[in-house]
């Protein structure tokens, strides 16, 4: 990492530390160092609580803006804030982002050489570091030496749910953090997490011995994430949809989550054949290969990463523009955490979930065989309900996390395209009759072949071609049958016997439909949802709205964006930073629409603090002026 020259005091604000608790100085610090004009919900209250030296617990979704909640107090308090974080890559990313804003920060970890660590210790002792990131195992070794000798302003425990066995990321090293309170009874502590249910929350407070903490729970809504589900697609159709999707997201990076290692490799190979730059990430790779994949993705050297759930915890990349789930996740918690990796910068981002019968079969089997059988089955069921939803998907998510949302979001796929139903009784009867005639010893795959009248070896061997219903559903394409069967399963007309080769068994409600006692309403299948991508990209986000309003007449020009993006990449490579740390995608978009022509105007852009204004203003403004002249 290149050395920046940090001179303390960093800014006149340090001289006036006494007045720091006023809202004004908080706002001023926010603009000076981070370049933002206003706080996000709860940030200001949280910061005030920390500055009042009270313990704090923060629950905020990924991308909600947790970091500023301790970074800003760290700037306003005397001494060094000590931040505990579970992964070296996370610490590195945070430290780079801080230094890129002119804030002296460092990380003590096993990835550094001993010489580097010694230099950092010295800087801390001399009061030259405002934020020190440290891994939990390292922290223990330092409690009696370094931490006793430096002036610790506060302790921030990031990803605090790692302390709890109830959380899904338990890390034994985290439990040792309980000594902090004993050793440093007077230093305020702030614990932060994006995922904590009630038990985990309680556990965090107890294990860290937080003193009468104020708990801040922010809305889990991520309005900038678009939500969409595709039901009943088979492999081939999934792939063509993904290729089209990536085509619509030219140069925008994203993650494809798959259930198995095999799938990640297979999907990646197909994308590669179509000229898309892609890497894979799963637990079966060597640590070095995984690091490489992660670095390539962070530094925009590849556009796509195909990954199992093992990927993502260690990355803070703010410009992930989309997330696709190739397979159904096993719970809404997993799903929400994974899609949460898109759009951290607040810009609109797309998410797409594929939902198919084979996933249900496999995941149900896993849940059935797991130690917490009932809980896991229930979680899967909730996930299925989300995928099958015919009401606003965002409402389902928020209600799941205990937020009572009483209105529709207006921009998930259900809100945009409410499902229409039709009387599908005859279709259901055809399927159920085939199941019964096959003695309820038939899987979905074969059932589709029977309905379609497809002669395959398996069909002939089983004598299914002699069934009366063979070919009875020839007029419906196979992929539509997949969809209807999934709907029938969800409506409870048949069940899958997971322990009997996944054979289908008719239920009592199925029987009623088969014998004409009840009607079956199915959802009309829509294959395409035309989207106006162009309009979407320039649609102002919540925070940028005001600025964009002034420039509504200006059309964001793609070629200017490309010029600025290339310049950002050059600066990033020169400094060894990822591009999004130099300037975020959001800032780049703002530059294109507002087009500042002086360094002063450049500094007024949201996301540009004083340090970046001085460092990058001139060169970006020159490019913009050049562009304007050439028009
Ligand atoms: P989290 O740690 O909660 O996942 P971060 O702290 O990384 O989220 O913040 C996510 C993004 O939001 C970052 O790009 C950050 O700079 C930005 N951000 C944070 N606070 C604000 C704010 N008040 N105004 C605008 N952007 C903000
Ligand atoms: Zn909605």
Are residue 478 and residue 510 in the same domain, yes or no?
A: yes
Compute, in angstroms, the gap from residue 340 CA to the centroid of ligand 1.
Answer: 13
Tell me what pLDDT residue 196 has: 64
Are residue 60 and residue 143 in the same domain, yes or no?
A: yes
Are residue 45 and residue 72 in the same domain, yes or no?
A: yes
**548: in domain:** no
Are residue 409 and residue 426 in the same domain, yes or no?
A: no
**529: in domain:** no
Tell me what pLDDT residue 528 has: 62
Tell me what pLDDT residue 212 has: 93
- Residue 168 pLDDT level (bands cut at 50, 70, 90): low
Are residue 54 and residue 146 in the same domain, yes or no?
A: yes
Compute, in angstroms, the gap from residue 607 CA to the centroid of ligand 1.
Answer: 10
Lowest mean pLDDT among 135-139, 176-180, 321-325, 498-502: 498-502
Are residue 410 and residue 425 in the same domain, yes or no?
A: no
Tokens 């697609």 correspond to: 233
Instruction: Say whether 287 sits in a helix, a strand or coil.
Output: helix
CA separation, residue 581 to residues 70, 150, 171, 184, 557 (Å)? 19, 29, 28, 34, 23
- Assign 3-state DSSP to the chain and report helix, strand, coil percentages, each to 5: 50, 10, 40
- Which whole number is the average pLDDT over 226-248? 93
Boundary of a domain, candidates 523, 549, 584: 523
Question: Which of 272-286, 357-371, 549-563 has the highest average model confidence (pLDDT)?
Answer: 272-286
Tell me what pLDDT residue 446 has: 93
Tell me what pLDDT residue 207 has: 94
- Taking only the tens place, the pLDDT of each residue in 38-68 is 999 899 999 999 999 999 999 998 888 999 9
510 within 8 A of 406, measured Cβ to Cβ: no
Lowest mean pLDDT among 137-141, 338-342, 424-428, 467-471: 137-141
Compute, in angstroms, the gap from residue 58 CA to the centroid of ligand 1.
Answer: 14
**36: in domain:** yes
Tell me how far apart the alpha carbons of residues 33 and 274 are, in angstroms, rounded to a whole number: 43
Tell me what pLDDT residue 110 has: 82
- Which whole number is the average pLDDT over 546-564? 61
- Taking only the tens place, the pLDDT of each residue in 502-525 is 899 999 989 999 999 999 999 888
Boundary of a domain, candidates 472, 498, 523: 523
Compute, in angstroms, the gap from residue 596 CA to the centroid of ligand 2.
Answer: 36
Ligand 1, atom 9: nearest CA belongs to which residue?
65
User: Which numbered ligand comes closest to the C-alpha of 83?
Assistant: 1
Ligand 1, atom 24: nearest CA belongs to which residue?
36
Tell me how far apart the alpha carbons of residues 352 and 324 are, in angstroms, rounded to a whole number: 5
**528: in domain:** no
User: Which numbered ligand comes closest to the C-alpha of 407?
Assistant: 2
CATH number, domain of 519, equals 1.10.10.10
Compute, in angstroms, the gap from residue 67 CA to the centroid of ligand 1.
Answer: 7
Contacts with 447 (C-beta within 8 Å, 6 or more apart), sequence order: 431, 434, 435, 438, 481, 485, 504
**456: in domain:** yes
Ligand 1, atom 10: nearest CA belongs to which residue?
63
CATH number, domain of 355, equals 3.40.50.300
Ligand 1, atom 23: nearest CA belongs to which residue?
39
Establish how many alpha carbons lie within 13 A of residue 537's alpha carbon, considering only the half-sphere containing its beta carbon.
17
For residue 66, give the ligand 1 atom closest to its CA: 3
**534: in domain:** no
Residues with CB under 6 A from ligand 1: 36, 39-40, 43, 60, 62-68, 316, 318, 344-346, 543, 584
Are residue 266 and residue 200 in the same domain, yes or no?
A: no
- Whether the pLDDT of residue 545 is over 60: the answer is no
Q: What is the pTM of this model?
A: 0.78
Tell me what pLDDT residue 214 has: 95
Tell me what pLDDT residue 600 has: 94
Q: Of all residues in the chain, what percent carry a pLDDT higher than 70?
A: 90
Tell me what pLDDT residue 141 has: 85
- Taking only the tens place, the pLDDT of each residue in 405-442 is 778 898 899 999 888 889 999 999 999 999 999 999 99
Compute, in angstroms, the gap from residue 368 CA to the centroid of ligand 1.
Answer: 39
- Taking only the tens place, the pLDDT of each residue in 301-324 is 999 999 997 777 667 788 999 999
Residues in the chain: 631
Contacts with 186 (C-beta within 8 Å, 6 or more apart), sequence order: none
Q: For 83-97, what is the HEC assignment? A: EECCCHHHHHHHHHH
- Whether the pLDDT of residue 363 is over 90: the answer is yes
Q: Best substitution site from 41, 65, 133, 341 to test ligand 1's pocket, by max atoms within 8 Å of Cβ?
A: 65
Q: Best substitution site from 44, 58, 61, 67 to test ligand 1's pocket, by max atoms within 8 Å of Cβ?
A: 67
- Residue 391 pLDDT level (bands cut at 50, 70, 90): confident
What domain range is 24 assigned to? 5-217
- Taking only the tens place, the pLDDT of each residue in 265-298 is 999 999 999 999 999 999 899 989 998 999 999 9
Select the more confidently predicted residue: 314 or 264: 264
Tell me how far apart the alpha carbons of residues 320 and 226 are, in angstroms, rounded to a whole number: 13
User: Which numbered ligand comes closest to the C-alpha of 580?
Assistant: 1
75 within 8 A of 130, measured Cβ to Cβ: yes
For residue 158, give the ligand 1 atom closest to its CA: 2
Compute, in angstroms, the gap from residue 483 CA to the centroid of ligand 1.
Answer: 40
**Total structural domains in the chain?**
4
- Whether the pLDDT of residue 331 is over 60: the answer is yes
């Amino acid at each position: 990492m290149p050395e920046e020259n940090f001179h303390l005091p960093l800014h006149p604000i340090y001289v006036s530390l006494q007045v720091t608790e006023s809202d004004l100085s908080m706002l001023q610090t926010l603009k000076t160092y981070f370049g933002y004009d206003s706080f996000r919900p709860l940030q200001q209250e949280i910061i005030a609580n920390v500055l009042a030296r009270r313990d704090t617990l923060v629950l905020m979704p990924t991308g909600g803006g947790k970091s500023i909640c301790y970074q800003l107090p760290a700037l306003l308090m005397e001494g060094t804030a000590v931040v505990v974080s579970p992964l070296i890559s996370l610490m590195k990313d945070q430290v780079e982002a801080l230094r890129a804003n002119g804030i002296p920060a460092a990380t003590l970890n096993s990835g550094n050489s001993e010489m580097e660590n010694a230099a950092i210790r010295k800087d801390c002792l001399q009061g030259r570091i405002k934020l020190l990131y440290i891994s939990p195992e390292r922290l223990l070794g330092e409690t009696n030496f370094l931490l006793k000798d430096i002036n610790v302003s506060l302790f921030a425990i990031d990803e605090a749910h790692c302390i709890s066995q109830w959380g899904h990321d338990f890390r034994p090293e985290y439990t040792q953090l309980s000594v902090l309170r004993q050793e440093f009874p007077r230093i305020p502590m702030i614990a932060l997490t994006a995922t904590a249910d009630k038990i985990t929350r309680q556990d965090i407070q107890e294990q860290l011995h937080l003193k009468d903490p104020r708990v801040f729970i922010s809305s889990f809504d991520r309005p900038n994430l678009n939500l969409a589900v595709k039901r009943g697609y088979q492999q081939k159709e999934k792939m063509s949809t993904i290729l089209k999707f990536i085509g619509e997201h030219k140069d925008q990076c994203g993650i494809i989550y798959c259930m198995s290692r095999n799938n990640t490799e297979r999907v990646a190979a197909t994308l590669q054949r179509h000229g898309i730059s892609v890497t894979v990430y799963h637990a079966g790779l060597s640590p070095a290969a995984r690091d490489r994949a992660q670095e390539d993705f962070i530094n925009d050297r590849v556009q796509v990463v195909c990954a199992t759930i093992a990927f993502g915890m260690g990355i803070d990349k703010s410009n992930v523009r989309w997330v696709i789930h190739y397979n159904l996740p096993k719970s809404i918690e997993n799903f929400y955490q994974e899609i949460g990796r898109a759009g951290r910068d607040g810009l609109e981002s797309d998410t797409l979930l594929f939902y198919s019968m084979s996933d249900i079969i496999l995941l149900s089997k896993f849940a059935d065989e797991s130690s917490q059988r009932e809980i896991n089955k229930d979680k899967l069921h909730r996930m299925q309900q989300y995928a099958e939803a015919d009401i606003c998907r965002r409402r389902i998510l928020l209600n799941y996390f205990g937020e009572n949302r009483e209105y529709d979001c207006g921009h998930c796929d259900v809100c945009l395209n409410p499902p229409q139903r039709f009387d599908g009784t005859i279709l259901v009867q055809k399927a159920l009759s085939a199941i019964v005639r096959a003695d309820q010893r038939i899987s979905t795959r074969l059932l589709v072949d029977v309905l379609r009248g497809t002669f395959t070896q398996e069909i002939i061997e089983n004598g299914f071609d002699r069934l009366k219903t063979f070919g009875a559903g020839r007029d419906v394409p196979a992929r539509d049958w997949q969809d209807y069967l999934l709907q029938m399963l969800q409506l409870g007309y048949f069940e899958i016997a997971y322990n009997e080769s996944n054979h289908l068994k008719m239920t009592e409600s199925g029987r009623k439909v088969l014998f004409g006692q009840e009607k079956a309403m199915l959802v009309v299948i829509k294959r395409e949802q035309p989207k106006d991508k162009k309009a979407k990209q320039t649609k102002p986000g919540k925070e940028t709205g005001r600025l964009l309003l002034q420039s509504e007449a200006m059309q964001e020009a793609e070629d200017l964006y490309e010029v600025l993006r290339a310049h950002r990449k050059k600066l990033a490579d020169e400094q060894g930073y990822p591009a999004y740390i130099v300037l975020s995608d959001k800032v780049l978009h703002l530059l294109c629409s507002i087009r500042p022509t002086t360094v002063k105007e450049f500094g007024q852009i949201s996301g540009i603090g004083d340090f970046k204004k001085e460092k990058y203003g001139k060169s970006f403004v020159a490019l913009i002026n050049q562009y304007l002249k050439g028009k």
